[in-house]
Amino acid sequence: MMEYERLQAKKVLVLGLAKSGVAAAELLHRLGAFVTVNDAKPFDANSEAQELLSKGITVICGRHPEDLLDEGFELVVKNPGIPYTNPIVADAIAKGLPVITEIELAYLVSEAPFIGITGSNGKTTTTTLLFEMLKVGRLKPLIAGNIGTVACGVAAEAKADEVIVTELSSFQLMGTREFRPHIAILTNLYEAHLDYHGTFEEYAEAKFGVTRNQTADDYFIYNADQEVVAKYAQKSKAKLIPFTTKGHANEGISADKENIYWQGDAILKRDNIVLPGEHNLENILCAVAAALLQQCPVEAIEEVLGTFAGVRHRTQFVREWQGRKIYNDSKATNVLATKSALAAFEQPIVLLAGGLDRGHSFEELRKEMTRVKAVVAFGETALRFIEFAKSCGITNIVRAIDVEDAVGYGAKMSEEGDIILLSPACASWDQHASFEIRGDLFIDRVMKLS
């Protein structure tokens, strides 16, 4: 960990616990700050707060006192999920206090450089792909951020010859001031999290934070196929690395049906790539470009692309069964994600879909439903999805009880050469606590097919 004295003896408020809050509080305490943690969960049921108290950290639990900021804090580190409309956060900003997220803290103490990856879709796949490439290339990568490992915990132990591959949400990036990754990636921009940000413009500005502090010594990999992203890229001071899936380009990284090109030269054959889908090609181009900029051997990149079958629950190849290939895309909790999954395959698809009924339309799927030969619908939206499938001209349709029941129907309704795809287009909360649980149940049932 880098010697960092700017926080020594400073009064710091950590607002909200969970993994990021705990890691931030522990790191701040280690740096010599006077730390107070405030969390809504009552102390008696708050094991994280109890652990922090045992380490000498002040904890205030069960409520957010209106006069909390009267304690004379000099910095607020907030949980990324807490909105800026929160009274304490708004009051801190009004008082001129810096409000950051733990990713900023991680950057300030890290000896290792960062690679920052953000975008509306594809962050996790890109982050995982890049990490695997650098690992095979023996370049000492660490993985952190929104992907599940708290960045400041990783950064505190990182060495100068390592590199931290970091998945970043808009929530995290809004809480940065000095954060400057050596390589930044913006995969794409679509309307998302407007309940948090209010407008698409604020959301996009938050995402642009991944490159805002970069200089000409850094690199910004961006989606040249999206006008809104290309427009933002022109504001970056970094060396620009555009990517396009629309064919051979002479700059940046590009792809046609046969090859991937780096600065105009063919470097990889596409027929060696395991991960399916045009949307995943975007992720692959981002990861390959960043790996090359990190001096990763092409042989290591090629090895990963020939074996990487997808992140768990994201168009993840599960197994081949009696000539059918079965994929788990439980992470597809909205129509846009399912649309991308359907577009990834040329073979006939038996689609397993349904879940929590939020009343949203399935109409955006209509064009891609021409790829679907049969539908198994389940969950609260089952009847609505069945009616939609019928309107698309699909006649081979059945209603299942749940995702496990759907697997059996999918097996019976499919033929050799088909794709069996779980891509629900709905959240899981009508029947399961998370899309991960739904996906795990699907995988377990698929592995039991005889």
- Residue stretches of the annotated binding site: 119-125
Instruction: Using the structure block, give the residue that is written with the tokens 């992203």.
Output: 229
C-alpha 362/C-alpha 4 separation (Å) is 52
Helices 435-447 and 403-413, packing angle to 10 deg = 40
Q: Are strands 253-255 and 239-244 parallel, antiparallel or unpaired?
A: parallel
Residues sharing a CB contact under 8 Å with residue 395, sequence separation 6 or more, in sequence order? none
Torsion sign, CA atoms 237, 238, 244, 249: positive
Closest CA to 406 of 432, 372, 433, 442: 442
Q: Are 25 and 14 in contact (CB under 8 A)?
A: yes
Strand partners for 265: 262
Strand partners for 376: 352, 398
Which amino acids are annotated as binding site for ATP, given as ranges? 119-125
C-alpha 68/C-alpha 73 separation (Å) is 9
The amino acid occupying position 136 is V
Torsion of CA 22, 175, 83, 57, to 10 degrees: 30
Angle at 279 between CA 199 and CA 421, to 5 degrees: 110
